[in-house]
Chain A
Amino acid sequence: MDATMDKMGGGTVQPLDKTKGTGAVSDPIFVGLLWASGIFVLVLLGLIIAELFQGGLPALQHFGLEFLWSPAWNPVTEKYGALVMIYGTLFSAIIAVIVALPLSFGIAFFLTEIAPQALKRPIGVAIQLLAAVPSIIYGMWGFFVIVPLMAAYVQPPLIATLGQVPLIGFLFQGPPLGSGMFTAGLILAVMILPFITAMFVETLESVPPMLKESAYGVGGTTYEVYKNVSVPYGRTAMVGAIMLGLGRALGETMAVTFVIGNANRLSASLFAPGATIASTIANEFPEAPIGSLKLTSLLQLGFILFVISFIVLALSRALVRSKLD
């Protein structure tokens, strides 16, 4: 203790009023820098939103609000609409969440309740590594491995069987391309899995042990404790985690572009090729000349994606926070 004091004070103890002087100049600068950093983020975000909105405004003025629900995307006749992309973005992201959700539940509960200590770390690290894989790698994996598998072994039998069932048959019709909404949703599911799982683990770990032990104490089985204690306790936070995963899936670009089939057509089938906002922008941006309606339409699409992501993120924040309070 004395030694550190010596180092700090340079050996001699100074009167209080004199030592205070050293921070008189540096401290306001430091505080000012901190303010600047904080404000910088706000200004940056504001500018991006403003720039996107302004860039996309001509498209909105030209097509009116119809832009939002017009299914056209025709560069030849210069008729653009966002419906196909909004639909594709939401559809693929929702497939991803539906596929990822049970897996995440399983992994998270296994890690917190069942897994022996020796297995906890490897699985935890593996999940973190999944999150670290760059999205282009998922895209290549999807394109070279998953798409051919889907085209050869998954889609043909499903089309032949489920595709013939009345009511739900429309979901499984069309040629077995391999690529399409469902494949995109699967790849996205793998990509958002680590994020949802990590938040589930956190939530499940925050369940007070006393609650669980009491439940076990009155004779609850593992499943009953899970269903009646752990999940209800963290329900809102879990919904928040799902929304966060949804938010990530909405904006994913490279991997989706590789496997979604990139068709500007509206179709209900899971196996039909489609397009998302992000994949359309990635595909069309290099060939959109300045001042063209196409470029402003793409910027408008970007703005719409921003708004959708913002809504989803705001919802997830609100839900996660409501649990913490």
Chain B
Amino acid sequence: MKFTPALGVIAVAGTLFAGNAQAVDFNGAGASFPAPVYQAWGAKYKEKSGNALNYQSIGSGGGQNQIINRTVDFGASDAPVPAEKLESNKLLQFPTVIGAVVPTFNLPGIETGKLKLTGDVLANIYLGKITKWDDAAITALNPDVKLPSQAIVPVYRSDASGTSFIFTSYLADVSADWKGNVGAATSVQWPAGAGAKGNEGVSGTVKNTVGAIGYVEYIYAAANNLVVAQLKNKAGAFIAPDVPNFVEAAAAADWANAKNFAASMINTAGATAWPIVSPTYVLLPKDPKNIEASRETMKFFAWAYTKEGAEIAEKLHYIPLPEAVVKQVEDAWKSEIKGPDGKPVL
């Protein structure tokens, strides 16, 4: 762009006007799963307020590191941070949006929604105990589907990720075997299968390999029309991965008793609840160095919780937070985030 005097005047005038409204840029870093919605919110928010969010999608662990070092104004993490760690680093944790993880597979001739699985079968596939698609455990669930005698190739995320944390949390919840031998974390020692990097790596490997099964975030599966399976939920029904079923799971979560908003939405009891659902979190310092940026961060998320923000999230296949929880989060902001003078920042 050529810099002309006229533009200069506009730029100066712009700065002056923005000066009245205190243009504050605020920085966040962390989880890649909510990155698309944070970016979309940020763009819209800048239009409205003139304040720009700069969000770096570097992974949950990186987000935690950066906020502990206070190099950003807020961190983002898919997995909830343990209470002691929040305490020792003076961090407030709150959820922003909710997402789901869905199993995707590659069996020629079998379309989306035609394959039914249970958590136990899924766990045994990833444990390497069920190795063929025509195993009795799978055919019993799918009497109407002709399953080939094809080797199952379980595919997992090779990079440590919140998606893996959610998925392994589910497997640990439904299978004692999984819980005892593997456990739940952003990366685990997978007993079988092959790893691929990122959602695109997993879906690419599944697409390339006949007989493969993998797991990806719903936003990714929906955007790319991946072939997904149905899962049996706690109520005993086979559920398709769909937004109303995620909302049902989110509503059934026990928010009241959840410390630091770390409510589990894994395998909740709702009649049509999808079993692999989880919120993603933001970490905010309770003793902010940059008061302005901290206040702006809270204003930003307060706006993101409104109807306008929720619509953007829904368009991107995320599930907005239930209203009752939003209220709790906003109360926590007021009571927990304090400036050096001891007064609430917001």
Contacts and interface: CB of A to CB of B under 8 A. Distances in A.
Interface stretch (B94-102, B181-189, B217-225, B259-267): B181-189
Given A263-B194, A284-B160, A74 B189 contact: yes
B209 interface: yes
Interface in A96-151: 143-144, 147-148, 151
Nearest to A84: B189
A261 B190 CA distance: 12
A287 B160 contact: yes
29 contacts: A74-B183, A76-B182, A76-B183, A144-B204, A144-B208, A148-B209, A175-B153, A178-B208, A179-B194, A180-B194, A258-B197, A258-B201, A261-B194, A262-B158, A262-B195, A262-B197, A263-B194, A263-B195, A264-B189, A273-B193, A282-B159, A283-B197, A284-B159, A284-B160, A284-B187, A287-B62, A287-B159, A287-B161, A288-B160
Contacts of B227: none
B61 A287 contact: yes
A76 B180 CA distance: 11
A264 B159 CA distance: 12
Contacts of A287: 59-62, 159-161, 186-187
B65 interface: yes
Interface of A: 72-77, 143-144, 147-148, 151, 175-180, 257-258, 261-265, 273, 279, 282-284, 286-290
Contacts of A288: 61, 160
The 3 nearest A-B residue pairs measured at CB: A287-B160, A286-B59, A262-B195
Given A179-B205, A258-B201, 11 more contacts: A72-B189, A75-B186, A143-B201, A180-B194, A257-B158, A264-B190, A282-B159, A283-B159, A286-B58, A287-B61, A290-B69
A283 B158 contact: yes
Interface of B: 58-62, 64-65, 68-69, 151, 153, 158-161, 182-191, 193-197, 201, 204-205, 208-209
Contacts of B194: 177, 179-180, 261-263, 273
B126 to A, nearest CB: 12
Given A287-B159, A287-B161, A273 B195 contact: yes
A257 B195 CA distance: 9
Contacts of B189: 72-76, 264-265
Contacts of B153: 175, 177
A289 B184 contact: no
Nearest to A259: B196
Contact of B193 (A76, A148, A178, A263): A263
Contacts of B68: 289-290
A75 B158 contact: no
A175 B192 CA distance: 11
B197 A147 contact: no
Contacts of B158: 257, 262, 279, 283
A177 B58 CA distance: 29
Nearest to B183: A76
